[in-house]
Amino acid sequence: MSKYFLKMILVFTILFYLLSAFFFVHAYAIDNKKTENTASDLTYADMEAQFANNVFITKDNEFKVIVEKDIELENLIADCKKQGLRFGLALGGGSARGLAHVGVILTLEAYHIPIDIIAGTSIGSVIGSLYASGATIQELEETALSIKKSKTLFMIDPTFPHSGLISGDRIEKMLNKFALKDKTFDDLDIPFAAVATEIENGAEVVITHGKLIDAVRASISIPGIFTPVKYQDYYLVDGGLVNPVPANVVQAMGADIIIAVNLSKINPFVPAIKFDKDNVLSGELEKSTDTKETEKTSLFKKHIAKVKSSFEGPNLFEVINQAIDIMEANITEHALEGTDIVIVPFGIKDIKTLDFDEAELLIKGGIMATLVNIPRIKEVLKEKLKEKE
């Protein structure tokens, strides 16, 4: 009994630190939020100015995308349909950044670009499954805008820390409430696949059969945070570990034209940081100077500084998620091989794991990034049709 009591104290201590660190870091991050696009030198503000006449939020809190009739694109799409070419959409993982997927889908709909096949990893499996199950774009928007941080934290249901800190039962209930309850892959309007990872051998698991909620729940299970999902005889976790943007999955499902949404915020080509003798010496000198200054402060101030320093840097959620982001960034390039169009939403760089309050910014970032890629989409359609000649 005493061992069990001590373990429970440990669980709640970890969760208290986790949530405390989250709020401390998030409060600082709000004032330092940037809106740079990870894929180009154009900023979020640049895009807002460029598309000021295209993107609106109505009084009913709905996004509206106004685009000019593009006869050339409509004809290309019609020709692709005649040739039997199918459009595939690969939705990448990225926690809260995944709300940008809603903006991408909204814009594709505005241009009447069909979505014949969908594959999703992690948050991409959430948005993809909802859309494939028949949810309208308005329903997707409502869902995205309704997921506020207060509700997100309420969904955290601690469990005995054997294979994860959070059981995920509340998140499962939320997903069932939105659209997935009792649905199977056979019920979907659009062919869909969710990508997960088998935790024991690291195999990529592409799920296309069975209960939809089980597949999505497995795909979003961040290792160390959520408990793995037992699926048949396997234990599954977040698909981003092996395939952060499942472009190859939609291709295997029969897509001829592949549009991928990459939510990676890490640049895999960052130069290495070297610590040589000079670095160490200068660091020691600065430290000794700081020590002299610290000696002049009161004991109370030292204590406050120590407490504040314990909350500096990323919290446990961010450490695990950032580690996954770093790993994913280095395999995303490989995952995107064979992709025809890669869309990187604007404004995702500084979005943290649970920044669901940034839904409007993210949806708009997805809209604007897709608008930028319309000329590229037309080029790809011409190339595909030429191959058919």
pLDDT band at 313 (very low <50, low <70, confident <90, very high): low
Rounded to an integer, what distance in angstroms lies between the CA atom of residue 261 and that of residue 102?
11
**What backbone torsions phi and psi does residue 382 show, to the nearest 5 degrees?**
-60, -45
Quick one: average pLDDT of 372-383? 96
Q: Which pLDDT belongs to residue 308?
A: 53
* Residue 40: active-site member: no
Rounded to an integer, what distance in angstroms lies between the CA atom of residue 136 and that of residue 138?
5
- Bridge partners of 57? 63
In this predicted model, what pLDDT tens digit does every residue of 328-367 receive, in sequence order?
677 887 888 889 999 999 999 888 877 888 889 999 999 9
Q: Which pLDDT belongs to residue 331?
A: 81
What is the dihedral angle through the alpha carbons of 243, 227, 314, 202, rounded to the nearest 10 degrees? Answer: -30
Sequence-ordered list of residues with C-beta below 8 angstroms from that of 275, at least 6 positions apart, any chain: none
pLDDT band at 8 (very low <50, low <70, confident <90, very high): very low
Q: Are strands 117-121 and 87-91 parallel, antiparallel or unpaired?
A: parallel
Most confident of 161-165, 229-233, 282-286: 229-233
Q: Out of 214, 238, 256, 355, which one is annotated catalytic?
A: 238
Q: Out of 95, 116, 122, 214, which one is annotated catalytic?
A: 122
CA 106 to chain CA centroid, Å, is 17
Model pTM score: 0.76
pLDDT band at 267 (very low <50, low <70, confident <90, very high): low
In this predicted model, what pLDDT tens digit does every residue of 192-223 receive, in sequence order?
999 999 999 999 999 999 999 999 999 988 88
* Residue 238: active-site member: yes
